[in-house]
A and B are shown apart, each in its own frame.
Chain A
Amino acid sequence: MENDSSYGQILRLPKRKLSARQNLAAPAERPVLTDVFPSLPTDPAATGFVLALLRDADGPILWVQDYLSRQENGQLYTPGLRALGVDHAVLQVTVSHPRDVLWAMEEGAACAGLSAVIGEIYGGPAALSFVATKRLALRAEGSGVPVYLIRSGDPGGLSAARARWRVASIPSEPHAHDTHSPGHPQWEAELFRARGRPPGRWIARHDPKAVRTADRFRLVPRPDDGTVEADDVPVSDRSGG
């Protein structure tokens, strides 16, 4: 009986999927085009999620908004960025048509001096086609600038984005000193399509005041998302045959 080996009893440890062990909070090694869909049209969770993904860099951020997303989601308020630990200068481009947003993002994605390009397009217009996203993705990979596309009010068409997230606000963490106040924000993040890693669902937590950069953004597996395989069998059973 292997359970009574000379080294003691063998415990039945569940075998974990690769996705749960990967450090998903760290962004991909190569900067790519990332699509982020808020679950509700006016939910700012997607914006917070994108800002939490940003890495520390010297260059400015290019932020492009079209008219509808300015009306529906509100304007970016840069004093609020400081609270999130984002110290980059923000070059803001406000245009009316999604076509101009895509053009400006493509120009920015080709400019290696920027630290990120963030674009917002509302409502999934025809201009935001597969070809447009493919162009953005190729530019981003060519220059090494991460490009994020916040697509609010968008059912989610075909896209060449290397990672596609769906983000929703959920009740925040308890406040450390005041039970009636909201604490650090939490989001439910679902990676529903990605290249080179399996999809999954996580709870994303953002604490901009954490001392270590790696602690500021964490993806925590949900208890019910099946990261532990259902047909889990002890290692000993497999090897024993």
Chain B
Amino acid sequence: MTSQYRTGPGDNVPVALSRDGPHGPVLHSINHAAHARGMQPGERVVDAQAIHPDLQVEPADLDGDHALMQRLMYWTRRWCPWTVQDADDGLALDVTGAAHLFGGPAGLLRDICQRFAMQGLTARVAMAPTRGAARALARYDPDLTICTGRDVAHHLAPLPVIALGLDQATTRLLTRLGLKTIGALADMPRVSLMRRFADLAVDRNPLILLDRALGRAPDPLNAPPDRPYFIARARLAEPVIDPVPHLKGLVEDLCTQLAQAEQGARHMRLTIYRIDSEYRTVQLGTARASRDPAHMLRLFDGKLVRMDPGFGFDLLTLEATRVEPVSLTQERLDGQPDSDADIAGLLDRLTARLGKDKVTWPTWTQTHKPERVEGRVPALTAAPAAPPALPRERPLRLLSPAEEVHVIYSVPEGPPSQFRWRRVVYKSARHAGPERIAPEWWLDRPSTRLRDYYKVEVQGGRRFWLYREGLLHDGRGGAPRWFLHGFFI
């Protein structure tokens, strides 16, 4: 949620992320400084701020965190084929038969820590024969990282029972019963535990979770399948300079792959790998998912001349970096072209050539300031919004920013009788107004001045929209200034 351009606070400043709790915001996660001061996640933000007034609180981006964890889960498949997300903040990797590729278990864990650190993330890692044991050790035992088959029970014994992955209510109950550690729980007779927690679900039952952690019950890792990845490659025998002759084959190959998976590309990336070990890319977006080779080829028109081929390249790849499902669509029976598809294609071509921010739909904001009412969104990312009803007549064109004009008036609070704009003097013939536009009260600062807008028709017939900023003696600056803001037709 925070802007990436803000510098973060130092390490000794307590910082917390908050999320909405049942009775107001609660701490979602905290940094080391806050942890050292004794704060706990789940505490209410107002309580923590009352005790620690210098605590900095930012809202947590839960959806963003989830998306990041999903990406990390697929990224960790570089070490082993089966990975799965574990709770909100963990990843479980089944490295059976994979550790020797990275120099044994110790080398694997070192590699994992290093590569997370390279991405700016701190990872706490542990390896154990069962998933439950690895989870408990990684989260609750900071010293031990590798635990072999025989001493699982020995290493788990001193950890608190919550390390098994129990919920709060069961943990509280076990603590009240005096079963504070996993060792104490394991020493209890099975029959009494079974009878006491018979009505709990499988994934919350302490006995079953204990059995899983100790390897007495199976706990398979159900990894989601890999995301589909669409890429077309062209390997060339000799380095070449011009990518255009190879593009058609690449596009057709990619479209065939997409058609087999019933997907369409929303975003594509063409990469050339040069013989001097450099690479250059061109990226393209589409307004709606497409797998039409002719359309894609047209989008690449004029984009390839800006790629610097250097001394030549011998490998081209075309990836579909974002795909969406596309099913076969029925053409209109009367033979007319589909206008929606037409416009989507037009948006793609305009955006590919001119840039994302040059092709825009309007958006509307509820605000008093006329120049803020209309905003612009890139046409590829949004659909056109219906405009709101406007209570007053508005000009067709707006100067941005408004241009200051020199005005002669008969009374200071009245309309202009003559004004000079861009070195031409205009004499007022008729006028309508004033329409007073002041900022919203929550945006009103001591220096903000209200505006009085006039629609002025000058001799000769042109109609202008002028405003006077402020009033005489309003205590917010000197004499009011006049600006020309727009034109009526």
Contact = CB atoms under 8 A, between A and B. Distances in A.
Interface of A: 40, 42-45, 47-49, 51, 58-60, 62, 73-84, 89-95, 100, 103-104, 107-108, 111-114, 168-172, 175, 178, 180-182, 185-186, 206
B354 A95 contact: yes
B209 interface: no
A77 B394 contact: yes
Contacts of A107: 346, 349-350
Given A47-B396, A58-B339, A182-B488, 7 more contacts: A44-B396, A77-B395, A77-B396, A93-B350, A171-B461, A180-B432, A185-B489
B461 A172 contact: yes
B390 A91 contact: no
B275 to A, nearest CB: 34
Interface of B: 337-343, 345-347, 349-350, 353-354, 358-362, 364, 370, 373-374, 376, 379, 384, 387, 389-390, 393-400, 422, 429-432, 455, 457, 460-463, 486-489
Given A91-B359, A92-B376, A48 B396 contact: yes
A74 B398 CA distance: 5
Chain A contact residues, majority secondary structure = mixed
B457 A91 contact: no
Given A111-B345, A111-B346, A77 B354 contact: no
Contacts, number: 167
Contact of A178 (B397, B432, B489): B432
Contacts of B360: 91-94
Nearest to A100: B354
A80 B394 contact: yes
Contacts of B463: 169, 172, 182, 185
B345 A180 contact: no
B362 A78 contact: yes
A206 B463 CA distance: 14
Nearest to B342: A113
A47 B345 CA distance: 27
Pairs A-B, 8 closest by C-beta atoms: A48-B489, A113-B339, A89-B384, A113-B342, A74-B397, A182-B457, A181-B432, A169-B461
Contact of A82 (B338, B343, B387): B387
B426 to A, nearest CB: 11
Contacts of B393: 83
A145 to B, nearest CB: 10
Contacts of B488: 44, 80, 182, 185
A55 B432 CA distance: 30
A168 B398 CA distance: 19
Given A59-B343, A112-B339, A112-B342, A44 B394 contact: no
A137 to B, nearest CB: 19
Contacts of B354: 93, 95, 100, 104
Given A93-B350, A171-B457, A79 B345 contact: no
B274 to A, nearest CB: 30
A104 B343 CA distance: 13
B361 A89 contact: yes
Nearest to A50: B489
B342 A111 contact: yes
A91 B379 contact: yes
Contact of A79 (B338, B350, B374, B489): B374
Contacts of A112: 337, 339, 342
B466 to A, nearest CB: 13
Given A111-B342, A114-B343, A93 B359 contact: yes
A125 B125 CA distance: 66
Nearest to A49: B489
B464 to A, nearest CB: 10
